Chain A
Amino acid sequence: MTGQPPPAIEFIGIDKRFGAVHANRDIDLVIEAGTVHGLVGENGAGKSTLMSILYGFYAADRGEIRIHGRKARIASSADAIRLGIGMVHQQFMLVETMSVLENVLLGAEGSQRIAPAEKRARAALARLAADYELAVDPDAIVADLSVGEQQRVEILKTLYRGAEILILDEPTAVLTPAEANHLFRILRRLTAEGKTILLITHKLKEIMAVTDRVSVMRAGEIVADFATKETTIERLAEAMVGRRVLLEVDKGPSVPGGVELSVEDLVVTDKRGVRVVDGVSLEVRSGEIVGVAGVAGNGQSELIEAIAGIRRPSGGRIVLGGHDVGGLDPAEVRDLGLAHIPEDRHRMGLVLDFSAEENMLLGHEDDPAWAHGLLLDRGAIRRAAVAAFDAFDIRPDDPTLRAALFSGGNQQKIVVAREVARSPRVLVVGQPTRGVDIGAIEAIHRRLIELRDQGHAILLVSAELDEIRSLADRVLAMCQGRITGECRPDASETEIGLLMAGAKNAEARA
């Protein structure tokens, strides 16, 4: 052994089962110090389990972990922190009503009296801010910070506790492109100072942009390990799914027809009286897909729920195929030709305890096709479900199974199959591929384009900019309840990103 430093983390033969689920199979993985190492894989591939073992949430059944060359026993997150491992969770673990300084100190006060600890922390924060572009006002209340700033507070917390190894779980899911770029700059600075970053993400573009090495997990195993320079997005996707996938959606130009859905000056207020949708106007024509891009939580959910009749608008008009539908209930809006694929299939789109075929009834339970006198015609329901399972290649191929037993992708296909079955005039789609594996994404995207080509009007809301850009014919950006601009889908990511961040920011940075 020469002067080469030992790897930051070595997983040696890590094995973990949950009941019959083999979540991690004999994982060997080396993370070199001072690098950004990407870990990708579909939902349920075992990434989270592996990270939970590293952070002390679970104990591995077999195998060992070495940190900086030394065998480590990690029985709790406290052990992990002592070993210099810090974790930035996807859901932030911050006390929103406290200041940045207090959050950073929380659990690391080091003394009974707060004042000296605060003084130390203040000095440390100033140093960290200067070193790593991690500037956040230490006295600001966390609730007042932007999401990107809150994430910086999370990183500051781990660094303040002396983290040498940072695990980031899907860190860009809630960031605008500009904020994501800022994060990547911070990651670069951290590795330059010798820190090690383990980045978990499903966005392959980010892997290519920021990592040094990348490992791919599938079904509990590491199936590929590349130097990022020597691989491509296509090869990563193939390794993740286990077969070749079509990442680019093949579509011709749109042929827009008449206006099917028009929204004028729509206002939706939430319980606190905040205008979460603040004067939105838009039009969707038949034969086109209009994409609404925006960081999650900027009023998109409320917009589609208002169109679908779930939320009552407090102002403005919604016109669906010539009918004013503002204030109608979801069943009435559906009868007028609207189909709605909701953002959250577990909470809204499905009844997980029902069988798949019963879920095909949801929202259409009053369809005379199912009526057999006073009873439901089980034969007709079964036939429709079987046909939908065939048409959408839903697996396992058994509509009598409970919806909860299907994978995310197949659950989403059940929702899509149900919603498009009656050839709706307008289709409103929220986050159609969130938590969906790549294979199913491909199928769902193809289906949406087909529907567009058949002349349906589609309004697509997604937090995935890539999805919007590859599917939409026109892109609207939404920020803080307002449409901040419209652009073509081939506009640069920066341009759309600036619109998503709000017009004011766009002007400021121009």
Chain B
Amino acid sequence: MSASSRRDLPPIVDYAVIPLLNLAVAFLISGLVVLAIGENPFEAVAIMIRGALGYPEGVGFTLYYATDFVFTGLAVAVAFHAGLFNIGAEGQATLGGLGVALVCLSFDGAPWWLVFPFALAASMAFGAAWAFVPAWAQARRGSHIVITTIMFNYLAATLMVWVLVEMMSEPGTMSPESRTFAEATRLPFLREFLTPWGIDLGQSPLNPMVFVAGLAAVFVWLVVWRTRLGFEIRTVGKNPTAAVYAGIDPAHVVIVAMLISGALSGLLAVNEVMGTQHRLLLEFVAGAGFVGIAVALMGRSHPFGVVLASLLFGILYQGGAELAFDKPKISRDMIVVIQALVILFAGALEHMFRPALVKLFDRRRIRAEGGA
């Protein structure tokens, strides 16, 4: 037996116990911070959970936030599998919004189900196009994708200001946003379908994109683990030398993986622009691109994990908003602190508890062998 064989933990530990342990520590420290500013952490948790899951409207908001995070989380996860750290989901989603807005404004007044496929296609195409340039630069010119995608986030923000101010803003208004889409062209809210059934989603902007997010997760799982392309992506991510040996062109795979990643990021814009805001405005992505990084880290780049982590962050967002509303002492910044702690423990310190757990399991195994 080689030493490494003993270094493996049961999958349940790797995929459930360790993330939960990390999460618990993040919450424990968050609790201490809440305590330090003179609030009761247990009460705070209760408010958050009630706010996020306690009534249909809260659930609606939680799922709406989670929808955004699933798209960006999957985007980052796909890039991870190819060994790439795509920091640019924010910018790719921003450009996706431009695509969606162009489609909706062109077909303004047409029924939403007619526009919907074009909006989806445009969001993916624009997101992918924005990811293509950094991908190409990395694959063919060796520029580091972390640097270029960060730069492209700034470029996207600046481009958006220019487009909205100079080209898309309604004549006579001062606000940098496009005109609002016609009622018929907007994605319907799910609350419109559910109210007759006695479920009151309140003002939550939950829309059909939540189902698209679910499909996207299944799609990513199929592509990564069940197709030749996914095999090639994972090979390049795990061992580029072996990929070259096998005849896989890493540059090509890097570009394709980033196109998929950018397309997934772009889909967020359909949820926001066509489904929620009904117009294009500045900074509608609101940091969801960066949350996607945390979500992908926490979900260990597995679509199922990404969905779970997205729900957690959805709860944090929605519950956090309620908490800030109920407890003036706890500002929205507190929520940012909690998120940062989750990212710190789930992402950056992911392996902190691993050696101890490995030791624990080794000891148990030795005892089991000794007894045998």
- The residues of A with any CB-CB pair to B shorter than 8 Å are 17-21, 44, 308-310, 329-334, 340, 342, 347-354, 358, 361-363, 365-366, 370-371, 374-376, 378, 402, 404-407
Residue on A nearest B7 in the bound complex, by CB: A19
Chain A positions within 8 Å of B222 at CB level: 375
Chain A positions within 8 Å of B3 at CB level: 18-19, 21, 44
Among residues 207 to 229 in chain B, which have CB atoms less than 8 Å away from a CB atom of chain A? 222, 226-228
Q: A349-B242, A405-B2 are in contact. List 19 more A-B contacts (CB 8 A).
A: A19-B358, A20-B366, A44-B2, A310-B245, A332-B247, A334-B247, A348-B242, A351-B234, A352-B238, A362-B245, A363-B247, A365-B228, A365-B246, A371-B228, A376-B228, A376-B231, A378-B226, A402-B8, A407-B1
Inter-chain CA distance A354–B227, complex, in Å, is 15
User: A18, A352, A378, A406: which contacts B239 (Cβ < 8 A)?
Assistant: A352
Q: Is the CB of B246 within 8 A of A362?
A: yes
Which 3 residue pairs of A and B lie closest in terms of their CB atoms, listed nearest first?
A331-B247, A363-B246, A19-B362
Chain A positions within 8 Å of B249 at CB level: 329
User: A21, A340, A358: which contacts B231 (Cβ < 8 A)?
Assistant: A358
Inter-chain CA distance A350–B246, complex, in Å, is 10
Q: Is the CB of B247 within 8 A of A405?
A: no
Chain B positions within 8 Å of A19 at CB level: 3, 6-7, 358-359, 362
Chain B positions within 8 Å of A376 at CB level: 226-228, 231
Q: Is the CB of B228 within 8 A of A20?
A: no
Q: Is the CB of B228 within 8 A of A353?
A: no
Instruction: Let me know if B365 is at the binding interface, CB within 8 A.
Output: yes
Chain A positions within 8 Å of B239 at CB level: 347-348, 350-353
Q: Is the CB of A354 within 8 A of B238?
A: yes
Among residues 248 to 279 in chain B, which have CB atoms less than 8 Å away from a CB atom of chain A? 248-249
Instruction: Let me know if B5 is at the binding interface, CB within 8 A.
Output: yes
List 5 interface pairs A-B (beta carbons < 8 Å), by A numbering: A44-B3, A330-B244, A331-B246, A352-B238, A371-B228
Among residues 311 to 361 in chain B, which have CB atoms less than 8 Å away from a CB atom of chain A? 358-359
Residue on A nearest B245 in the bound complex, by CB: A348
Chain A positions within 8 Å of B90 at CB level: none
Q: Is the CB of B247 within 8 A of A374?
A: no
CB distance from A18 to the nearest CB of B (A): 6
User: B6, B242, B365: which contacts A347 (Cβ < 8 A)?
Assistant: B242
Q: Is the CB of A405 within 8 A of B8?
A: yes
Q: Is the CB of B369 within 8 A of A330?
A: no
Inter-chain CA distance A407–B5, complex, in Å, is 9
Q: Is the CB of B245 within 8 A of A351?
A: no
CB distance from B126 to the nearest CB of A (A): 25
Q: Is the CB of B238 within 8 A of A363?
A: no
Chain A positions within 8 Å of B6 at CB level: 19-21
Q: Is the CB of A365 within 8 A of B242?
A: no
Inter-chain CA distance A399–B51, complex, in Å, is 48
Chain B positions within 8 Å of A334 at CB level: 247
Q: Is the CB of B366 within 8 A of A365?
A: no
Q: Is the CB of B247 within 8 A of A351?
A: no
Q: Is the CB of B227 within 8 A of A375?
A: yes
Chain B positions within 8 Å of A347 at CB level: 239, 241-242
Q: Is the CB of B245 within 8 A of A349?
A: yes
Inter-chain CA distance A353–B236, complex, in Å, is 12
Chain A positions within 8 Å of B228 at CB level: 365-366, 370-371, 376
Q: Is the CB of B244 within 8 A of A365?
A: no
A365-B246, A405-B2 as given contacts; A20 in contact with B238, CB under 8 Å: no
Inter-chain CA distance A334–B245, complex, in Å, is 10
